[in-house]
Structure 1
Amino acid sequence: MLRAMILGAGAGGGFPQWNSAGPGCRRARAGDPAAPRRSQASLAVSADGERWLVVNAAPDLRQQIEATPALHPRVAPLRNSPISAVLLTGGEIDAIAGLLHLRERQPFRLYAAAPTRAVLDANPIFGCLNPDFVGRADLPLDAAFAPQDAGGAALGLSITAYVVPGKVPLYAETTGQPDVSEDGEALGLAISAGGAVLHYIPGCAMMTPALRNRLRGANCVIFDGTLFSDDEMISAGAGPKTGRRMGHMPITETLHEFASLGVRRRILTHLNNTNPALLADSPERATLEAAGWEVAEDGMEITP
């Protein structure tokens, strides 16, 4: 049976963001139950409840592990972890920085597609992941594969990684405004075990005919919910970029695109700290709930 746990549901910086005095962040810091805190987006999946694959190593990974008993070390041996593999859907800081928490000579297998592998290989700090313990494996695209642990044992999962529209990470931009492309900078995943299938797409710049066909009739999709409206950050005075400029389609467009796809369960993740959908009592949340959407929270467990 496939088990999936939302380790984090926030965008880069989490919620509240450390340098934001926005109204939502102030409510979260005050402990408002309608504004629960969220760490940066990450997912854990397992077929047996014992060995887990983490999708995206958020900067908050250490805290996420401590908040998730299923990811705690077992009683013996002294050093151990149920995290058997990590899979990266892109090279953004909020997807790779958490790897530095996993440098304690603990065996696991690390999967990434070519653009993300290049980011890791080019930065010597990731050499702290001793290759004697952490094997880096190419992530195949558009073909189901069975992820393995460091010793080569299959985890009982089947994963198909596929390209979705995206762009290079902001820190890697070398031109003024790089185009959205489908070159492997952003990936979606179809994760299955025991017949259940879950799609995880934490970053997506636009809907395409190919993606629409892939998701049509899906049982469960966890999708990019970074901004509610494209100019949200500009309107809030939080920054000069639109959602599309950052490689994320706004929720207003997502609602329209998914309306005819017949996806049974639809969940939004990777929400930016300016997104009013983070607030349980906002009109935007009411709009989402009326349309049959859920907003992910840290610790949320999903059984597709």
Structure 2
Amino acid sequence: MLRVVVLGAAAGGGVPQWNCGCAVCTRARTENRELQSTQASIAVSADSKHWYLVNASPDLRQQLIATPQLHPKAGQLRHSPIAGVILTNGEVDAVAGLLSMREGSPFTLYAHERVLAILRSNSIFNVLGENNVKRRAIEADVAFEPTLPDGAPSGIEILPFAVPGKGAWYLEGKAHPAGGDAAGDTLGLRILDKASGKYFYFLAACARVTDDLKSRLSGAALVFFDGTVWRDDELIAQGLGTKTGQSMGHISMSGEQGAMESLAGLDIGRRVFLHINNSNPALLAGSDERTALEQAGWQIPADGTEITL
């Protein structure tokens, strides 16, 4: 049995963003505090004792406090049920939370070599000492089984795969520490319970839906998918920024080439959007956008939502 906890569902900066007075952020601070959401991450376990984080958001400390499943065991001075962290990209909102895990509890960090190279190039991540935090390179289309702290198998099989996207924004126009092409900058994950054979997909960033991706996702019991923007130009239209969703490596929810239309008709049990930007009007319950999203069979989760497969 797989247990999945949504630690956060928001895009970079969360909801509300610290310096934003848009409609969503203003309502999240005032009359609609249920809109508040931390930055996107999930936790998954096959035994309800050992958990693996998928991405480590800047809000990680707050997320761990709010999630009883991830609290230290009672009576132990130093303990964490977190056995590992799997990174799907090198963006700030996927790696910054690692700095909140520097207090000495052992865990294993799994990431593509291109992301590990980013961590190596920035000495601040050396606070995660190698004696406690093992770094393991993962490859696209090569399945692996994360291990428990004692080296035993976890019962979870993870298959990383490349998805259309882009590298970390802070490296735009700069040489990547790993050199070479961009393969591995953005990964999706299939996460499978080896005992039951049930699996789900996690894609926090995806620029477009390809035929190969449709084939992968068809038949899944659960899909977490990139829900950053409702429409490609919404940041520009709202005066919040100058970038489109595509320029940031994110598909739109709506439109003929959007996620909802592209994935319509596929055999997917539960469809959940993650990494939702504060600019996205679908965050507002009762909005036309939210109604269309729900009618298409999608949902937006609250922080702390648990799903069992």
C-alpha separation between the residues in 1 aligned to 2:184 and 2:139? 11
Alignment match, 1:237:
239
Alignment match, 2:220:
218
Say whether 1:269 aligns with 2:274: yes
Alignment match, 2:124:
125
Alignment match, 1:85:
84
Q: How far has the Cα of 1:250 moved from its partner?
A: 0.4
Q: How far has the Cα of 1:196 moved from its partner?
A: 1.6
C-alpha separation between the residues in 2 aligned to 1:262 and 1:182? 31
Q: How far has the Cα of 1:31 moved from its partner?
A: 4.1
Question: Any idea what the Cα deviations from partners look like across 1:243-279, whole Å, max 9, x if unmatched?
Answer: 0000000001111100132222110000001111111
C-alpha separation between the residues in 1 aligned to 2:173 and 2:142? 31
Matches within 5 A, 1:1-304: 1-32=1-32, 35-174=34-173, 183-193=183-193, 194-252=196-254, 253-304=258-309
C-alpha separation between the residues in 2 aligned to 1:106 and 1:125? 18
C-alpha separation between the residues in 1 aligned to 2:288 and 2:208? 24
C-alpha separation between the residues in 2 aligned to 1:157 and 1:217? 18
| Counterpart AA for 1:15 | V
Question: Any idea what the Cα deviations from partners look like across 1:169-219, whole Å, max 9, x if unmatched?
Answer: 1101117xxxxx861111111111122211000000111121111112222
Bigger shift: residues 152-161 or 84-93: 152-161
Runs of 4+ more than 6 Å apart: none
| Counterpart AA for 1:157 | I
Contact (CA 8 Å) 1:14, 1:38: kept in 2 or not?
A: yes
| Counterpart AA for 2:81 | P
C-alpha separation between the residues in 2 aligned to 1:186 and 1:297? 25
C-alpha separation between the residues in 1 aligned to 2:152 and 2:57? 25
Structure 1 unmatched ranges of 5 or more: 176-180
Structure 2 unmatched ranges of 5 or more: 175-180
Question: Any idea what the Cα deviations from partners look like across 1:200-243, whole Å, max 9, x if unmatched?
Answer: 00000111121111112222100000000000100110000000
C-alpha separation between the residues in 2 aligned to 1:59 and 1:116? 17
Bigger shift: residues 151-160 or 75-84: 151-160
C-alpha separation between the residues in 2 aligned to 1:12 and 1:88? 15
Q: How far has the Cα of 1:143 moved from its partner?
A: 2.5
Contact (CA 8 Å) 1:12, 1:94: kept in 2 or not?
A: yes
C-alpha separation between the residues in 2 aligned to 1:213 and 1:182? 23
| Counterpart AA for 2:167 | V
C-alpha separation between the residues in 2 aligned to 1:152 and 1:76? 24
- TM-score between both structures, scaled by the size of structure 1: 0.95
Aligned length: 298
Report the CA distance shift for 1:209/1:190 in structure 2 as closer, same or farther (over 3 A): same
| Counterpart AA for 1:255 | M
Q: Identity, % of aligned pairs? A: 48
User: What is the root-mean-square deviation in Å for CA atoms of aligned residues?
Assistant: 1.3
Contact (CA 8 Å) 1:115, 1:185: kept in 2 or not?
A: yes
| Counterpart AA for 2:108 | R
| Counterpart AA for 1:11 | A
Does the residue aligned with 1:251 lie in a helix, a strand or coil?
A: coil
